[in-house]
Amino acid sequence: MRILVDMDDVLADFDAEFLKRWQERHPEKMYVPLEDRKIFYVKESYPKELQNLVEDIYLEPGFFRNIMPMPGGIDAVKTMAQLGLEIFFCTSPLTAYKNCVLEKYEWVDQHFGPEWTNRIVLTKDKTLVKGDILIDDKPVITGAEPTPMWEHILYDRPYNRDINRKRLTWQNWKQVLDL
């Protein structure tokens, strides 16, 4: 079985890194706590006048490289591989990819080892990637293929809880995947 695992806010805690940097740089400005977020894209959760400041944070060098792992995610993915599942990291780079692409590779190397960098699939269209399951926090995934080959299992986040779909955390993944 081939399992595709998204990185940002599934394996890597993008939201926590963003909020930490936001509060360091802009302590006087409002912020949107993760629990209150209703929109997938963090930038769109902020008023128009703050969106450039939001983008500045996640576009800066070191942002993606320094994101902390989601608790339990690394162990879960390594256990999946030990159980004989074929694991690939299926992640979408930012359109302004200058730091993002390299740092995603560095993140995987740092947390999984260099041999795991061969398992990275960078794509703007995940519907084109062949797999059995895609674990992703994005509520709706669209692309060139109207019916992807994989089953979309939601990684549980506050902004996707209105979607009625099978959902997973790194604490219940074995039960959700029936392993």
Mind telling me the catalytic residues? 6, 8
21: Cβ–Cβ under 8 A, 6 or more apart, which residues? 57, 63
Task: Say whether 173 sits in a helix, a strand or coil.
Answer: helix
Cα separation, 60 vs 39, in Å, equals 22
Cα separation, 15 vs 67, in Å, equals 9
Residue whose C-alpha is closest to residue 23's, from 62, 53, 67:
53
